[in-house]
């Protein structure tokens, strides 16, 4: 289980994680069914993990089952029980989808721009080989080469017999042959191996204790080192394998097939070394949810609320195209900056409402129109919003220009601490959104906002001149920097 903060295009930031080895596929690879004992154990683990993530107010969740459940004849019974335990639908994903998510996770956490990389992921039931050029998948293979599966099929003695090892190695070579042929002589800049088998292999080679296995991330292991380790592993009993630093007592049971797959791939493709990445399918799911904007539909006005604010905006002669553009941009920025402001999506609705209504005060006077906007909104009947929400919207309108919130302002004194914090964090976003349509001609068609270490990049996209909007956004960046303690970098791209 992984819970993380993420924005579209930004690196994920883990909040909490949990992992427990359940060997779900063991009964499947023996009998074709998930055993009752395995189901009970997995459901208990899922229920425990659910208690953790349910405390975090997560915006999106995805629960997936992979190779073992793909092969299980009683998969529907398992999915029903697992879904009940975790409190969310559990879906079976294909090998290709698993490969896509692994690639997405690795590239999000450890980007490889401009490089051709080969990603190898060895799970319990399957192994994925993914060839990627400049962060785009060229092709991917999913093969039934999981470490647990291979152990159940081939290795029945301890230490394993030489004849069984030869059968194992021949089987691996046969299964990876299509991928090897397709990759051919393409130049591969880096090999990245993920999952527990790779972690244990790289840890053992680099002498990293299991308790510090996170240190294996991005560490290197050469093909000759893996070959030497494999020969050592195959000569030892289980108890002796458990004595090797970095492998761990349970991983020692299935490390031989895992190391065999890694070695065979490197040798058949004539590759010299690999690097381990701690990222994988979990990180890929998080990045995918962020890219899809999961949960942020809650940050958008309902149809009834949007009708309410549009009608009020039109009543006070607000240019509706401008209002809609500012509202759209505000929504985009709210979602992209969630990792910084960490506000409930419900505040995104109030931001959108303020984007529609911030210019209503022009109806009274162009002078100090932000104050008139506050008065009109605070004293209007807004069906679909309660009194507290209306006051937050009114304060956002009040501070969309000129001075920042001040404890001496009567309107500010009426807000509770949570609402004050939200307004402080949302005012820079509203000012940015408004500045991006400074001409009121919708010259900025779209905007991409990327949170980087130490700065925020705002890339404006449009097919017309955007100099005025870029200048206005740069000016609004001063307030953004004061609140978020990060500079704002504005760039433009003609489309």
Q: Is the peptide bond before 159 cis (omega within 30 degrees of 0)?
A: yes
Q: What is the DSSP letter of 216?
A: G
Residues 108-135 pLDDT 10s? 999 999 999 999 999 999 999 999 999 9
Of 59-63, 146-150, 362-366, 393-397, least confident by mean pLDDT is: 59-63
Half-sphere exposure of 351 (CA within 13 A, CB side): 34
The answer, yes or no, to whether residue 145 has pLDDT greater than 80, is yes
Give the residue from 142, 149, 277 showing the smallest Cα distance to 213: 277
Residues 8-26 pLDDT 10s? 666 788 989 999 999 999 9
The answer, yes or no, to whether residue 345 has pLDDT greater than 90, is no
Write down the pLDDT at residue 7. Answer: 67
**Beta pairing class for 488-494 and 455-462:** parallel
Phi, psi at residue 141, to the nearest 5°?
-120, 140
Give the residue from 17, 14, 3 showing the smallest Cα distance to 57: 3
The answer, yes or no, to whether residue 415 has pLDDT greater than 90, is yes
Write down the pLDDT at residue 9. Answer: 65
Average pLDDT over residues 317-332: 96
Of 64-68, 79-83, 287-291, 462-466, least confident by mean pLDDT is: 287-291
For the chain, list the domains and their CATH numbers.
Answer: 2-92 (3.30.420.40), 111-278 (3.30.420.150), 296-494 (1.10.3210.10)
**DSSP string for residues in 257-308:** HHHHHHHHHHHHTT--EEEEES--HHHHHHHHHHHTTTTGGGGS--HHHHHH
Half-sphere exposure of 427 (CA within 13 A, CB side): 25
The answer, yes or no, to whether residue 179 has pLDDT greater than 80, is yes
- Please give the mean pLDDT across all residues of the chain: 94
The answer, yes or no, to whether residue 4 has pLDDT greater than 80, is yes
The answer, yes or no, to whether residue 338 has pLDDT greater than 90, is no
Rounded to whole angstroms, what are the CA distances from 347 to 55, 396, 420, 422? Answer: 19, 11, 12, 7
The pLDDT-based confidence of 288 (bands split at 50, 70, 90) is confident
Q: Which residues pair with 220 in a beta bridge?
A: 275
Average pLDDT over residues 382-399: 93
The answer, yes or no, to whether residue 314 has pLDDT greater than 70, is yes
Residues 66-84 pLDDT 10s? 999 999 999 999 999 999 9
Element (H, E) at 130: strand 127-133
Residues 196-253 pLDDT 10s? 999 999 999 999 999 999 999 999 999 999 999 999 999 999 999 999 999 999 999 9
**Percentage with pLDDT > 70 across the chain:** 98
């Amino acid at each position: 289980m992984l819970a993380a903060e993420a924005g579209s295009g930004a690196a994920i930031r883990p909040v909490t994680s949990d992992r427990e080895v359940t060997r779900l596929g063991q009964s499947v690879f023996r009998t074709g069914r998930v055993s009752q004992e395995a189901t009970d154990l997995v459901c208990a683990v899922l229920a425990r993990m659910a208690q953790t993530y349910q405390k975090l107010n997560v915006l999106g969740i995805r629960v997936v089952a992979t190779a073992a459940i793909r092969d299980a004849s009683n998969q529907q019974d398992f999915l029903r029980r697992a879904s009940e335990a975790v409190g969310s639908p559990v879906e079976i994903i294909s090998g290709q989808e698993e490969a896509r998510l692994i690639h997405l996770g690795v590239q999000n956490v450890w980007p490889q721009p401009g490089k051709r990389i080969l990603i190898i992921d060895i799970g319990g039931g399957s192994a994925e080989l993914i060839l990627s050029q400049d962060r785009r998948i060229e092709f991917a293979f999913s093969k039934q080469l999981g470490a647990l599966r291979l152990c159940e099929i081939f290795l029945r003695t301890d230490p394993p017999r030489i004849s069984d090892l030869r059968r194992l190695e021949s089987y691996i070579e046969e299964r990876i042959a299509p991928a090897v042929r397709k990759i051919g002589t393409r130049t591969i800049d880096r090999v990245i191996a993920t999952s527990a088998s790779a972690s244990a292999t790289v840890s053992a080679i680099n002498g990293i204790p299991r308790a510090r296995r996170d240190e294996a991330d991005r560490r290197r292991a050469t093909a000759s080192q893996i070959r030497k380790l494999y020969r050592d592993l195959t000569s030892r009993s289980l108890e002796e394998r458990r004595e090797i630093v970095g492998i761990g007592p349970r991983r020692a049971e299935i490390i031989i097939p895992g190391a065999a797959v890694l070695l065979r791939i490197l040798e058949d493709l004539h590759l010299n070394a690999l690097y381990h990445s701690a990222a994988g399918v979990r990180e890929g799911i998080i990045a995918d949810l962020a890219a899809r904007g999961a949960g942020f539909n809650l940050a958008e006005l309902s149809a009834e609320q949007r009708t309410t604010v549009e009608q009020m905006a039109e009543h006070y002669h607000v240019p509706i195209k401008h209002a809609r553009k500012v509202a759209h941009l505000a929504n985009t920025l709210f979602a992209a900056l969630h990792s910084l402001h960490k506000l409930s999506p419900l505040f995104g609705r109030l931001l959108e409402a303020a984007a529609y209504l911030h210019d209503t005060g022009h109806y009274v006077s162009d002078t100090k129109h932000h104050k008139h906007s506050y008065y009109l909104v605070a004293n209007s009947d807004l069906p679909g919003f309660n009194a507290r929400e209306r006051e937050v919207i009114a304060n956002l309108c009040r501070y969309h220009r000129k001075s920042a919130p001040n404890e001496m302002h009567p309107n500010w004194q009426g807000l509770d601490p949570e609402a004050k914090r939200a307004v402080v964090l949302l005012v820079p976003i509203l000012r940015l959104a408004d500045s991006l349509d400074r001409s009121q001609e919708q010259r900025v068609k779209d905007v991409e906002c990327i949170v980087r270490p130490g700065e925020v990049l705002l890339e404006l996209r449009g097919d017309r001149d955007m100099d005025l909007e870029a200048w206005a956004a740069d000016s609004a960046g001063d307030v953004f920097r004061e609140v978020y303690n990060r500079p704002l970098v504005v760039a433009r791209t003609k489309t």
